[in-house]
Amino acid sequence: MYIYDEANKLAKLLKECEEYRTYSSLKEKVYADENTKNLLNDYKKLQFEAQAAYFAGKEPDSELTDKIKKLGEVLAFNTDVSEFLSWEYRLNVILGDIFKIIGDAVDLSPDFLKD
């Protein structure tokens, strides 16, 4: 089907873009160290917990936010990790923009966001 062909072309373009290539290279580098990999995974899990609280209409508890802050400070000392997180953010912005473009094209935006 034509639409899947176009989606595959977009996927190929994404794999070729600077943001993905740099992100992928840095990910390979930082995840090669088991300790760094574990710290990053812990950090991301904590961030996910905080986001889940926000989506549930709650503030994450101070213990959780303190853990995120402290772990973030530890990770910031590693320039490769900082750079990796920066490129990961850039890639996520692109993916979010693409999803918004597609969602707007087929009117997937919830009505309550249109006010």
Domain harbouring 98, CATH code: 1.20.1500.10
- Domain membership of residue 101 (yes or no) is yes
- Domain membership of residue 30 (yes or no) is yes
- Domain membership of residue 97 (yes or no) is yes
What value does the mean pLDDT take over residues 77-98?
96
Range of the domain at 27: 15-105
Q: How far apart are the first and last CA of the chain?
A: 36
What value does the mean pLDDT take over residues 76-92?
96
Q: Is 61 helix (H, G, I), strand (E, B) or coil?
A: coil
- Looking at residue 115, what is its pLDDT? 55
- Looking at residue 108, what is its pLDDT? 80
Query: What pTM was estimated for this model as a whole?
Result: 0.82
What value does the mean pLDDT take over residues 79-100?
96
Nearest to 81 by CA among 33, 46, 45: 33
| Total number of domains in the chain | 1
The number of angstroms, rounded, from the C-alpha of 14 to the middle of its chain's C-alpha atoms is: 15
- Looking at residue 1, what is its pLDDT? 78
Residues 28-51 have pLDDT tens digits of 999 999 999 999 999 999 999 999
- Looking at residue 70, what is its pLDDT? 95
The number of angstroms, rounded, from the C-alpha of 25 to the middle of its chain's C-alpha atoms is: 16
Inter-residue contact 8 to 69 (CB < 8 Å) = no
- Domain membership of residue 110 (yes or no) is no
- Looking at residue 60, what is its pLDDT? 92
- Domain membership of residue 7 (yes or no) is no
Torsional class of 17: left (φ above 0), alpha (ψ -120 to 50), beta (otherwise): beta
Angle at 94 between CA 92 and CA 99, to 5 degrees: 95
Whether 112 shows a pLDDT value over 90: the answer reads no
